[in-house]
Amino acid sequence: MVASIPLQWLDPRDPSAPFPPVEQALREPDGLLAFGGDLSPERLLRAYRRGIFPWYGEGQPILWWSPDPRSVLYPSRLKVSRSLNKVLRKKRYQITADRAFAEVIAACAAPRRDGLGTWLGPEMIEGYCRLYEMGHAHSVESWYEGELVGGLYGLAVGRVFFGESMFSRRSDASKAAFVALVRHLCRWDYVLIDCQVASDHLNSLGAEPILRRDFIEVLDLHCDARGRWEAWGEEHE
């Protein structure tokens, strides 16, 4: 029998304290690695570079995860259905980037009919907004007749984009934003989009599982590469 390793507590007073090796993450629940710490920009950026992300609910301490397998999307393998392609050709939505980051993350945090979305509490929202102000986090927005109807946000580290959450108030609005993002990442030589955990929504767009060790290998190779974000803030598509 293999002895279990207790979860490591991260001291919130020391944002430079190291995370435990991702190989120590639990199998059940899949990927739970550590708890505690804070959501300072320094700690968040170090976490993402190591394949770790925070996810916790109200009343819980900050929980840090690194699941195995990992859901990812290679930009060159994007799948666009015939019906979605029709929406994109008609330019039903105006797509922008970094125009409404705070509004996008607030919409992602709002309760939804499926009960998801409420895990994004004020502390997490503040942490990602700080990363946006520093130029590490980005949003893509879908607009319909001047109204924000869909979008997504995530982090850019080197040539890897770590997707965090998306929302949609009209049919295909979040997918339109996602397709615009992926097509730009292809042009900017990004190698991978982290989708964290599998979902039917992202699987339909081409997301696939890879082993955590392969995911970490990609991060080691490309998170220190120079990214290209010169087109952010301009209209997309």
pLDDT tens digits along 7-52: 999 999 998 889 999 999 999 999 999 999 999 999 999 999 999 9
**Domain 8-67 adopts which CATH fold?**
Alpha-Beta Plaits (3.30.70)
Judged on CB neighbours under 10 Å (0-12, 13-18, 19+), 125 is middle
Options 3.20.20.80, 3.40.50.1220, 3.40.630.10, 3.40.630.70; CATH of 71-222 = 3.40.630.70
Which residues in the chain come in under a pLDDT of 50? Answer: 1-3
Place of tokens 């970490």: 216
Q: pTM of this prediction?
A: 0.92
Q: What angle do CA 47, 210, 153 make, to 5 degrees?
A: 50
Query: Taking the C-alpha atoms of 33, 35, 40 and 46 in order, what is their torsion angle to the nearest 10 degrees?
Result: -20
Q: Do domains 8-67 and 71-222 have the same CATH topology?
A: no
Q: Which DSSP string corresponds to 58-75?
A: TTSPPEEE--SSEEEE-G
pLDDT confidence of residue 181: 96
pLDDT confidence of residue 119: 77
Tell me: the pLDDT tens digits for 173-184? 999 999 999 999
DSSP strands (E only) in 145-181: 147-157, 160-168
pLDDT confidence of residue 58: 84
pLDDT confidence of residue 1: 36
Which residue type, as a one-letter code, is found at position 66?
Answer: S
Whole-angstrom distance, CA of residue 140 vs CA of residue 154? 9
Relative to beta strand 70-73, strand 94-97 is unpaired
Which residues is 200 bridged to in the sheet?
Answer: none
The full set of domain ranges for the chain reads: 8-67, 71-222
SS3 196: strand
pLDDT confidence of residue 16: 86
CA atoms within 13 A of residue 64's CA, in its CB half-sphere: 27
Query: What does pLDDT average to over the chain?
Result: 91
pLDDT confidence of residue 91: 93
pLDDT confidence of residue 138: 96
Place of tokens 């991978």: 192
Cis peptide before 75 (omega within 30 of 0): no
